[in-house]
């Protein structure tokens, strides 16, 4: 009798242990589900989306000298190297899209290489085909030709209008060895400081720009004037040198310490020692 009771107790004890482990067994499935979701999001971030493309300016040039972002002649010089684009409204974003980098490629024409080319938004395309579709790149002649097979650049440019693919999520602006530059507006004066911000690594675009005078610990917020140009109206003369703080849409922050010297000159370009 004692043996039967002991056997029954052992059976009930083992059964209790089995049921007590069930919640943990069920919980173990959750990491596998999360892994699948993460992989799905990763696939989406690497995917290409459709867009339209045209080109403007000279066949091998940088579109127009300057454009609606305020980069002036820099668009045709290193590190932009004429690989730029005007953007339709969804890309230009009223100037907030200036400096963003995209990969573009084409596959529908025999002259297309299918290889991606990286371009920077430096101008606005406010009408025509740029309003006819949700996303449109009006590329420089050089950038349009960069999507072609070697030796077939002119053939591709002769097409004029293309369906292309683009992506930004995995693209970071990369300017190796280049530091952020500040192109001070010619109209600046001690009470009004305005500058374009050029060659921003990473996001490429900026969410906020602030100025700090050497004699102050206060950061003064600047406002976007147009494109990549930011301004500060001051009730008092601004005393150099200035430090400039940059914040990207992804919340990365960088300070160019004393980048604008005492005795700064309107119209001059000042190069910092930093980049993202």
Model pLDDT, residue 176: 96
Mean pLDDT of 73-92: 97
The residue among 96 and 214 whose pLDDT is bigger is 96
Q: Give the ranges where 46-168 is alpha helix by DSSP (H).
A: 89-92, 141-145, 153-159
| Token pair belonging to 148 | 């072609």
Mean pLDDT of 166-194: 94
Per the rule left: phi > 0, alpha: psi between -120 and 50, beta: everything else, 213 is beta
Domain boundaries, given as residue ranges, for the chain: 49-167, 181-271
Model pLDDT, residue 235: 84
- Are 259 and 244 a contacting pair, CB within 8 Å? yes
Q: In terms of pTM, does the model score above 0.95?
A: no
pLDDT digits (tens, 9 = 90+) for 217-243: 999 999 999 999 999 998 889 889 999
Q: Give CA 108 to chain center in angstroms.
A: 26
| Token pair belonging to 243 | 């430090």
What whole-number distance in Å separates Cα of residue 133 and Cα of residue 270?
39
Residues 6+ apart with CB under 8 A from 101: 118, 119, 120, 121, 168, 171, 172, 173, 174, 204
- Are 103 and 160 a contacting pair, CB within 8 Å? no
Give CB contacts under 8 A, 24+ apart, made by 150-154: 150/113, 152/111, 153/59, 153/111, 154/59
What whole-number distance in Å separates Cα of residue 90 and Cα of residue 112?
25
Percent of the chain at pLDDT > 70 equals 83
In degrees and rounded to multiples of 5, residue 268 shows phi and psi of -95, 155
Model pLDDT, residue 255: 99
pLDDT interval class at 66 (50, 70, 90): confident
Residue with tokens 């009771």: 5
Domain 181-271 CATH class label: mainly beta
Bridge partners of residue 125, in order along the sequence = none
Lowest-confidence region among 24-38, 107-121, 222-236: 24-38
Mean pLDDT of 10-26: 39
The mean pLDDT value of the chain amounts to 86
The one-character DSSP state at 241 is P
Q: What is the fold of 49-167? A: Barwin-like endoglucanases (2.40.40)
């Amino acid at each position: 009798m004692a043996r039967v009771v002991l056997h029954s107790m052992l059976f009930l004890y083992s059964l209790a242990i089995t049921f007590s482990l069930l919640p943990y067994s069920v919980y173990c499935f959750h990491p596998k589900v999360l892994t699948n979701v993460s992989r799905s999001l990763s696939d989406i971030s690497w995917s290409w989306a459709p867009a339209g493309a045209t080109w403007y300016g000279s066949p091998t040039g940088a579109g127009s000298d300057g454009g609606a972002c305020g980069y002036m002649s820099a668009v045709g010089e290193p590190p932009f190297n004429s690989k730029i684009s005007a953007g339709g409204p969804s890309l230009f974003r009223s100037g907030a899209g200036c400096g963003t980098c995209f990969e573009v490629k084409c596959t529908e024409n025999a002259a297309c290489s299918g290889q991606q080319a990286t371009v920077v938004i430096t101008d606005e395309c406010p009408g025509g085909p740029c309003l006819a579709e949700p996303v449109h790149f009006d590329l420089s002649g050089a950038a349009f030709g960069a999507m072609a097979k070697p030796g077939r650049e002119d053939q591709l440019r002769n097409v004029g209008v293309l369906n292309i693919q683009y992506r930004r999520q995995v693209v970071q602006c990369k300017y190796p060895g280049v530091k952020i530059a500040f192109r001070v507006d010619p109209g600046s004066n001690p009470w009004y400081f305005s500058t374009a911000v050029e060659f921003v690594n990473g996001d490429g675009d900026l969410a906020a720009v602030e100025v700090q005078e050497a004699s102050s610990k206060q950061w003064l917020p600047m406002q976007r004037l147009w494109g990549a140009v930011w301004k500060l109206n001051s009730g008092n003369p601004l005393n150099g040198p200035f430090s400039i703080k940059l914040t990207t849409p992804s919340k990365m922050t960088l300070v160019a310490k004393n980048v604008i010297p005492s005795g700064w000159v309107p119209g001059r370009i000042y190069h910092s020692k930093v980049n993202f």
